[in-house]
Amino acid sequence: MPAYAYVVLVVGWLAWCLPFLLMKRNKAKAEKIDKRARWGIIFTFLAFFIVWQPTFWEKSLPDWRLAAAIVFFMAAIALSWSAARTLGRQWRIDAGLNADHALITAGPYRFLRHPIYTSILCLIWAVGFLFVRLPWLALATVLALLGTEIRVRVEDGLLESRFGKQFEDYQKSVPGYIPWKI
């Protein structure tokens, strides 16, 4: 594996993580948390586990795979920074609602209801294109999509319980985490 591939990996990964490390979190306890969403985290973790397996790494890196990785890293980074900045203190790892929770529809949330999950998928694809064979990347994608679906359904349920018709209208007009309606 060429050294520049590791540079792309480290820079891409750190640039994606940085907004979550820098943001000020809400210290108040969530008013409502749905722990079922943790299953989504487990499936997403398994997807990352697959793409990070050193036994799957290939010895050479075709140019097209490096280019795909860079494109997906750039998309992941842009989404993580813009979504984290827009979401602000409402961001949390657990799916939950704060007492002062607001329905965010600005920034990347105008185009996707869950842009951070889109960024995570892009991150998985970026790392996968750098290091794993395509069948393993396909398996990682399936696990990540399963985990994302679990989280999206739980979070959408929480938001609908709080915002009712306002969220239903938003949900009908803005895709979940894939930039087009299916």
Q: Helices (H) and strands (E) in the chain — how many of each?
A: 6, 2
Chain segment 68-123, per-residue pLDDT in tens: 999 999 999 999 999 999 988 888 788 888 888 899 999 999 999 999 999 999 99
pTM for this prediction? 0.91
Residue ranges of domains in the chain: 37-87+116-182
